[in-house]
Structure 1
Amino acid sequence: MTEVFLIVLPLVLLVALGQVIAKTGWLAANDWTGLEKLSFRILIPALIIRSIAHSDMTLKSSGFYVATMLLAFTVAGILTLILRVALPKQALGNPQLSSMFQAVTRWNALITLPVAAQLFGPSGLTTITIAMAFLIPFINIINIAALATMLAGRFSVWKVLKTIALNPLIIASVLGLALNIGKIPIPAPVDTMLEMTGRAALAVGLLCVGAGFNMRRLFYLNWKIIWAVAIKAIVAPALVFFLAQSFGLAPMETLCAMLVVATPTATNGYIIARQMGGDAELYAIILNWQLVIAIFAFPVMIAIMQG
């Protein structure tokens, strides 16, 4: 277990460094906004394009791996939506339910990518980017559909769909898939540039995650928060583990899939909650709790899979 913790420790330290930099004011709020945009629009897309372009995307090699995560996220979402039938709106309003749904079905690849890279090197990065290529469009679509149903009349569906279509991560996934399926080689200088750019995404992303962490939000805890954290850290990865055994996934694919579904929710869900009428503060509190729990849950999953 100590060896596993030492694998994760450098990543935790990067998150902590981001928090220290933010709290001491070494970088202003505007600087962090610029770093987040750089990571979201340039660094991560470069990593996605190169990894997908060089990966084996055949149904035989990736089909069950992707299906495992799609099923896990779908079950996590359904379990949360069932609360609408089980509880009256006085106990759980649609704004709160919509944020809980987002919190259990979204994931922050900025966290998963460096973990996989630390564990498996380039193979880990490729495995996670394959997940991103298929999950990012799927997750955005099911979230828009669910939130449109719960919060109807508070936003423009077409405006949100346009935002999804212009998402740099989705565009990068499409480009990577086009290069892969079309067997189009990337020129060596461009490939090296993409590799260097993508490498920078791993550290910058974790620093931004740390900068966005808010300790004060951990003083709030109720059953809604516990539900969203438990689904992420326990239910979804356990489901992936059993599905992976049924599908015969390799240990690396199984662990990467478990990490993906257990990864804390994406920060862009907070913005979507605000824009669409959800409970943005509840979403932010859940995100911070998921980050803390992941520090302990990730090493446990890694230890289990590594025997």
Structure 2
Amino acid sequence: MIRAAGPQRHGMLRAVSYVQLLLPDFSLILFGYLLCRYTPLNRSVWQPVESLVYYLLFPVLLFQSIVKSPINVGEATGLVVAGVGTGLCGVVLAYSLPHLPWLGRHIDRRDHAAAAQVAFRFNSFIVLALAERLAGAQGLLMVAVLIGVCVPLLNVAAVWPMARGGQQGFVRELLRNPLIIATATGLAANLLGFRIPPWLEPTVGRISAASLALGLMAAGAGMQFGLLTRSKLLSASVLTIRHLAQPLIAWGFAHLLGLDATQTSVLMAFCAVSTASTCYVLAARMGYNGAYVAGLVTLSTVLGVVSLPFALGLLR
């Protein structure tokens, strides 16, 4: 009895520390949701904010995070392989859903084309905020590298099922993606030895800080609880891949590749956060049911409160 008290108390302390780690960020998400729904600051206000964060503030944060510290290519290789491997496993699982004999006949192919992306995309706003809390500037650099590699890959995987339905123009959208542009230029600048001038660092730092707070609030403002009852089996499948299968796969890759504690923490957070808030925007732009995907994004944001402590708890 006495011996069991130590581990039990240790587990309780870890649970408390996870709550303290996640509470500030999810409080901002909740705050954004409440502001959007119950004050005059409705969607007409938050849509321009979301665009500002996505097209300007967030790319500045990514660029700053990448050029801030020299990248050790050798050390980053294992983390990148683990992140890409986990993402590709998520893509394969999501794509396979309509072909499973006991599941496929209950899934609408058009709904699946729009919803598959929910299983493997990630909310960059949340993961960047968490990386900074988990590992400071080093965590931000690691996540920035992961984003730079995984965003183009997963965006292509997200667009492909919908593009097969006859929609066009997605290649141009990928090449103009501000996240891809920011990470590509940041990586090139880092490898060339470029650093932000000291006199400009305070301004860039304030822009970066604003992007995290506004990005999290915009994610909350974009949550929608409508149409969650549509395609229940499909909804449960893609959310299970996102919030259960992905963390377990990431944990396996971390052990297989021998990642250190910091890299593993960042990888687990990267693979357990809620899906990208822009999933519903992409689905709507390509002529699919954006409202249904918005419901999945909302539920994924809520499930992230559970999957993140679960994923970080695997580190024990």
Would you say same fold, with TM above 0.5?
A: yes
1:147 matched to 2:162? The reply is yes
Asked if residue 256 in structure 1 is aligned to residue 271 in structure 2, the reply is no
Shift of 1:221: 7.2
Partners of 1:107 and 1:36 in 2: CA distance: 16
The CA distance in 1 between the partners of 2:314 and 2:105, in whole Å, is 41
> Is the 8 Å Cα contact of residues 218 and 288 (structure 1) preserved in structure 2?
no
* RMSD after superposition: 2.0
Counterpart CA distance in 2 for 1:262 and 1:303 is: 11
CA positional deviation for 1:232 = 0.8
Q: Distance in 2 between matches of 1:94 and 1:278?
A: 11
Provide the residue aligned with 2:217 in structure 1.
207
Instruction: Tell whether the 8 Å contact from 1:217 to 1:288 is kept in structure 2 after alignment.
Output: no
How does 1:162-173 map onto structure 2 within 5 Å? Answer: 162-173=172-183
Deviations 1:154-195 (A, max 9, x none): x21xx2211221111111111101211111232212233222
Is contact 2:123–2:275 with CA below 8 Å preserved after alignment? yes
Shift of 1:90: 5.3
Structure 1 residue 38 and structure 2 residue 48: aligned?
Answer: no
For the 8 Å contact 2:279–2:297, the answer to whether it is kept is no
TM normalised by structure 2 equals 0.89
**Secondary structure of 1:84's aligned partner:** helix
Q: How far apart in 2 are the matches of 1:199 and 1:145?
A: 34
**Aligned residue pairs: how many?**
301
> Secondary structure in 2 aligned to 1:188?
coil
CA distance in 1, matches of 2:108, 2:226: 24
Contact 2:117 2:158 (C-alpha < 8 Å) held by counterparts: yes
Query: Amino acid of the residue matched to residue 180 of structure 2?
Result: I
User: Do 2:32 and 2:219's aligned partners in 1 also have CA atoms closer than 8 Å?
Assistant: yes
Letter of the aligned partner of 1:109 in structure 2?
S
Local SS of the residue matching 1:274: helix
Contact 1:273 1:280 in 2 (8 A): yes
Aligned to 1:246: 256
In the alignment, what sits opposite 2:16?
2
Could you tell me whether the CA contact under 8 Å between 1:95 and 1:277 is conserved in 2? no
**1:118/1:217 CA distance change after superposition, 3 Å:** farther
Query: Within 1, Cα distance between the matches of 2:100 and 2:146?
Result: 32
- Structure 1's unaligned 5+ residue stretches are none
Map 1:54-73 → 2, pairs under 5 A = 54-73=68-87
1:82 to 81, 91, 96: 96
Structure 2: distance between partners of 1:10 and 1:142: 32
Which amino acid in structure 2 is aligned with residue 81 of structure 1?
Y
Q: Distance in 2 between matches of 1:72 and 1:24?
A: 39
Structure 2 regions of 5+ residues with no counterpart? 1-14
| Greater relative contact order (Cα < 8 A, sep 6+) | 1
Question: 2: CA distance between counterparts of 1:75 and 1:205?
Answer: 27
Deviating more after overlay: 40-49 vs 210-219: 210-219
SS at match of 1:187: coil
- Judging changes above 3 Å, is the alpha-carbon distance between structure 1 residues 34 and 275 closer, same or farther for their aligned structure 2 residues? closer
Moved over 6 A (4+): none
Q: Indicate whether 1:120 and 2:135 are aligned.
A: yes
Identity fraction in percent: 23
Compute the TM-score of the two structures, normalised by the length of structure 1: 0.91
**8 Å CA contact retained: 1:220, 1:285:** no
Q: Which residue of 2 aligns with 1:95?
A: 110
The yes-or-no answer on 1:134 pairing with 2:144 is no
Aligned partners of 1:289 and 1:19: how far apart in 2?
13
Structure 1 segment 2-21 matched on structure 2, within 5 A: 2-21=16-35
> 2:251, 2:314 within 8 Å by CA — same for their partners in 1?
no
Which of the residues 175, 178, 184 maps onto 1:174?
Answer: 184
Amino acid at match of 2:48: G
Instruction: Report Cα offsets for 1:230-285 as digits up to 9, x if no partner.
Output: 11111111011011111111122112112222222212221221232433233222
